[in-house]
Amino acid sequence: MLLESSDDQPCEYCEGIEPTVELDFIADKCEDVLATFYEVSSQTMAVQVYDQLPSGKSLEATVAELIGAPDEAIEAITEILDFRWYDRDSGEYQYGEDPWFIPSARMESPLSLQWEMIESSLRNEGRFLNPKVAHFMDTVFGGVMNDVADNRLPVLVDAGPGTRYEALYRARVFQSEKSVLDALEHPERFLGAPPVGVGMSGRMNAAGQPAFYGATDVTTTLTEVRPVVGSWVVAAKFSIDRPLKLLDLRLLGKVVLPETASLFDEATKVAAQRRDFLRKFCNEMILPVMPERQDQSYLVTQVIANYLATHPLASIDGIIYPSVQRGGNDCVDAGENVVLFYKAATTVNADSDDPTAYAQLRHYDHDGPDHYFSPAIVFLDVKPKPLWYKKDDLHISPALSLVRDSIEIHEIMSVQITSKVSSVDVGEQHFNH
């Protein structure tokens, strides 16, 4: 800012001959920064009525923190701002006579309006080869490989051997013992991600596009499939066999500006608007969706997931997000969901046309007709595919392996409900008038 707008002149305050600018120019920039990145804290009821000390810093202290100039220059700049903010017709100051400022918790972002237009474009104009969508995605997600959260952790997380995310749990609901038995005879196929062209659409995938929806613990994966009483749920653990890169939506919603960012730089304003948009956007990405609105609501998240999966620089293999079925971001015990995109959703032996195991569900007494539920499984040797064998997704190296001794069968006996109850008042006196 200074180099573009300054000349080598003697400074009135330090007497050095360096690049200098007029105080009005500095005041202009400070006024823009205060309006963009700060909010007034001295006009609250606590300050005005109860005479409490405002939060934050005074105008002079805030300007001094912004530009680090000599005290005499700071005083001159604040006088310029006071003069500008005084309305002679009303006799009042724009921010009060002694304004104090705090950093704004959130700033208005034009990305929110653009996002509403993008959603409309996706639903009404088409999802494929949509230039509006591509440009918006580049603006919002193009820099994820460099983003860090407020704890200085990168939003892109490593998964696979030797990481926190070495394995995932996945569950499927079945309506009968027969269907459970069929699944156990080929658990890699029935418990893993569906093959190309078979699966239903989900939050992060279109119909027929493979995706592995898992969780970091059994309880979460059971909750996510929302089983009904009387059904059976088969859950299993899958190890992640090769390094993957996952985008953590919880961290993306807490991105911070680079430590070197200058509030006087226009690029910082754009970055701050993106940051604040991502906070709201990441919360919306994980909101529960009613079944009758899944097709429309999932359209947007599917397009985002597809963009991230094909990002040429970040090479993202999946997304981590909190389980809304267990409380979401606001719940301490909320589980972690992980969806792996098609390029990381394949399980070893899932493409076998023949059963990969022999299984039984009930043990029969040799001496009589009595039997009891006692599931067991024996895995078979799976012959490798011949060299000439080729499928649509054969070029994708499997990223997952079934942990054979992890399979559990859950017979759903009851379902717990956590709700917020509101009684309905009777009578006209309770209506708004």
Q: Taking a C-beta distance cutoff of 8 angstroms, is the pair 219, 408 a contact?
A: no
Q: How far apart, in Å, do the first and last CA atoms of the chain sit?
A: 56
Does the pLDDT of residue 331 top 50, yes or no? no
**Distance from the Cα of residue 54 to its chain's centroid:** 34
Does the pLDDT of residue 107 top 80, yes or no? no
pLDDT mean over 58-84: 93
pLDDT at position 222, please? 95
pLDDT mean over 335-353: 93
CA distances from 382 to 242, 354, 407 (A): 21, 8, 19
Q: Taking a C-beta distance cutoff of 8 angstroms, is the pair 307, 206 a contact?
A: no
Q: How many helices (H) and strands (E) does the chain have?
A: 13, 18
**Distance from the Cα of residue 237 to its chain's centroid:** 24
Reading the block at residue 170, the tokens are 């996945």
Burial of 319 (0-12, 13-18, 19+ CB in 10 A): buried
- Of the two residues 287 and 232, the one the predictor is more confident about is 232
**Distance from the Cα of residue 135 to its chain's centroid:** 20
Strand, coil or helix: what is 215?
strand
pLDDT at position 332, please? 47
CA distances from 209 to 119, 203, 226, 303, 393 (A): 21, 12, 22, 12, 11
- Of the two residues 192 and 207, the one the predictor is more confident about is 192
199-211 pLDDT, tens digit each: 788 888 888 889 9
Q: What one-character-per-residue DSSP string does 102-134 give?
A: EE-S----HHHHHHHHHHHHHHHT-STT-HHHH
Confidence of residue 83 (pLDDT cuts 50, 70, 90): very high
Strand, coil or helix: what is 370?
coil
Confidence of residue 117 (pLDDT cuts 50, 70, 90): confident
CA distance 293 to 172: 22
pLDDT mean over 298-302: 82
Say how many C-beta atoms besides its own lie within 10 A of residue 399's C-beta: 24
CA distance 300 to 127: 9
CA distance 293 to 296: 6
Q: Taking a C-beta distance cutoff of 8 angstroms, is the pair 15, 43 a contact?
A: no
pLDDT mean over 110-128: 76
pLDDT at position 406, please? 97
Question: What percent of the chain is predicted at pLDDT more than 90?
Answer: 50
pLDDT mean over 300-318: 86
Reading the block at residue 431, the tokens are 């209506």
Confidence of residue 26 (pLDDT cuts 50, 70, 90): very high
Summary mean pLDDT of the chain: 87
CA distance 337 to 329: 12
pLDDT at position 195, please? 85
pLDDT mean over 284-313: 79
217-227 pLDDT, tens digit each: 999 999 999 99
Q: Taking a C-beta distance cutoff of 8 angstroms, is the pair 378, 360 a contact?
A: no
Lowest mean pLDDT among 147-151, 321-325, 346-350: 321-325
- Of the two residues 387 and 302, the one the predictor is more confident about is 302
pLDDT at position 24, please? 92
Confidence of residue 387 (pLDDT cuts 50, 70, 90): low
Question: Identity (one letter) of the amino acid at 370?
Answer: D
Residues, the chain: 433
Lowest mean pLDDT among 260-264, 294-298, 377-381, 422-426: 294-298
Q: Enumerate residues 6+ apart whose C-beta is below 8 A from 25.
A: 5
Q: Taking a C-beta distance cutoff of 8 angstroms, is the pair 12, 22 a contact?
A: no
Give the side-chain half-sphere CA count within 13 A for 176.
Answer: 3
pLDDT mean over 306-332: 79
CA distances from 405 to 75, 123, 154, 237, 378 (A): 73, 45, 34, 9, 10
CA distance 58 to 101: 6
Confidence of residue 4 (pLDDT cuts 50, 70, 90): low
pLDDT at position 217, please? 95
DSSP 8-state class, residue 73 = H
**232-241, 408-417, 422-431: which has the highest mean pLDDT?**
232-241
Place of tokens 């559990």: 408
Give the side-chain half-sphere CA count within 13 A for 169.
Answer: 22
121-163 pLDDT, tens digit each: 777 766 665 677 888 888 888 889 999 998 899 999 999 999 9
- Of the two residues 415 and 123, the one the predictor is more confident about is 415
Confidence of residue 2 (pLDDT cuts 50, 70, 90): low
Q: Taking a C-beta distance cutoff of 8 angstroms, is the pair 12, 69 a contact?
A: no
Place of tokens 């972690």: 336
pLDDT at position 184, please? 97
Does the pLDDT of residue 393 top 60, yes or no? no
